[in-house]
Structure 1
Amino acid sequence: MSGALTVDNRDVAGLTAEERAQWSAWAADDPDLASPYFRVEFAEITARVSPDCAVAVFRRDGDVVGYFPYQKRGGAIQPIGAPMNDYHGVIAPRGEAPTLAEVARLLDGRRFSVNGWVGASTRGIRSESFRTTIPDNGGYDAWYAARRQAFGKYFKDKERARRSMAVEFGSVDVQIGLRDPALLDELIALKREQYRRTGRHDIFACSWTGDLLHALMAHEQADFGASMAVLRAGGQIAAMEYSLHAGRRFHFWFPAYVPSLARCSPGILLSMETIRLGAEQGYRDFDYGFGGEAYKRYFCDTVQPVTEAAFLGPGLPSAIGAATDALLSMAGADRAEEIRNSLRRRWNVIEACEVTGVDRFKGAALAARAAFAKAMNRTAAAS
Structure 2
Amino acid sequence: MKIEVVHPKELGEAEVRRWRALQASTPTLANPFLSPEFTLAVGRFRPGARVAVLGDESGIAGFFPHERHTLGIGRPIGAGLTDCQGLVAPPGIELDVRALLRACRLSVWEFDHLLADQTAFAPYHAETRVEPVMDLSEGFTAYAEGARQRAPKTIKTVRYKERKLGREAGEVTYIFSERGTGELHRLMAWKSAQYRRTGRTDRFAESWIVALVEHLHATGTGVLSVLRAGGRPISAHLGLRSGTVMAGWFPAYDMEFSRYSPGMVGHLRMAEAAAGAGITQIAMGRGGREYKDWLKNGEFPIAEGRVARASAAAGLHWVKDAPVRRARSAVLAHPALYARADRVLKTYARLRRHTGDAA
What TM-score comes out, normalization by structure 2 length? 0.81
Q: Is residue 165 from structure 1 mapped to residue 165 from structure 2 by the alignment?
A: yes
What's the % identity of the aligned pairs? 27
Partner SS state of residue 87, structure 1: coil
Equivalent residues of 2:110, 2:306 under 8 A apart: yes
Cα distance in 2 between the residues matched to 1:158 and 1:101: 50
Correspondence for 1:228 among 224, 231, 240:
224
Which residue of 2 is the match for residue 367 of structure 1? none
Alignment partner, residue 109 of structure 1: 106
Partner residue of 1:92? 89
Seen in structure 2, the aligned counterparts of structure 1 residues 337 and 73 have a Cα distance that, compared at 3 Å, is closer
Q: 1:308 offset after TM fit, Å? A: 1.6
Q: Which amino acid in the other structure matches residue 66 of structure 2?
A: Y
**TM-aligned CA distance change 1:105 to 1:274, over 3 Å:** same
1:13 aligns with 2:9: yes
Q: Is the 8 A contact 1:251 1:288 kept in 2?
A: yes
Alpha-carbon distance change, 41 to 337 in structure 1, aligned in 2, over 3 angstroms? closer
Higher relative contact order (CA 8 A, sep 6+): 2
Match of 1:380 in 2: none
Distance 1:16 1:174 in 2: 38
Aligned partners of 2:197 and 2:346 also within 8 Å: no
CA RMSD of aligned residues (A): 3.1
Range with bigger deviation, 192-201 or 102-111: 102-111
Specify whether residues 116 and 102 from structure 1 end up closer, same or farther in structure 2 by C-alpha distance, changes over 3 A only. farther
Q: Distance in 1 between matches of 2:219 and 2:93?
A: 31
Q: Which of 299, 302, 305 pairs up with 2:301? A: 305
Unaligned runs of 5+ in 1: 325-335, 346-369, 378-383
2:235/2:266 contact within 8 Å kept:
yes
1:92 CA displacement = 1.0
How big is the shift at 1:203?
A: 1.6
Contact 2:200–2:345 (Cα < 8 Å) also in 1: no
Structure 2 CA distance for partners of 1:226 and 1:297, relative to 1, 3 Å: same
Partner of 1:143: 143
Aligned mates of 2:30, 2:325 — CA distance in 1: 35
Whether 2:80 is the aligned partner of 1:83: answer yes
How far has the Cα of 1:43 moved from its partner? 1.3
User: Aligned letter for 2:157?
Assistant: D
Pair 1:193–1:86, CA change in 2 (3 A) = same
CA contact (8 A) 2:137 2:281 kept: no
Q: Output one character per residue of 1:148-170: Cα deviation in whole Å (capped at 9) or x when no partner.
A: 13321111111111122223322
Cα distance in 1 for partners of 2:172, 2:96 equals 48
Shift of 1:244: 0.8
> Given the alignment, which residue of 41, 45, 48 partners 2:41?
45
SS of 2:80's equivalent? coil
Is the contact made by 2:198 and 2:345 (CA closer than 8 Å) also made in structure 1? no
CA distance in 2, matches of 1:18, 1:316: 37
Deviation (angstroms), 1:230 = 0.9
1:315 aligns with 2:316: yes
TM-score by length of 1: 0.76
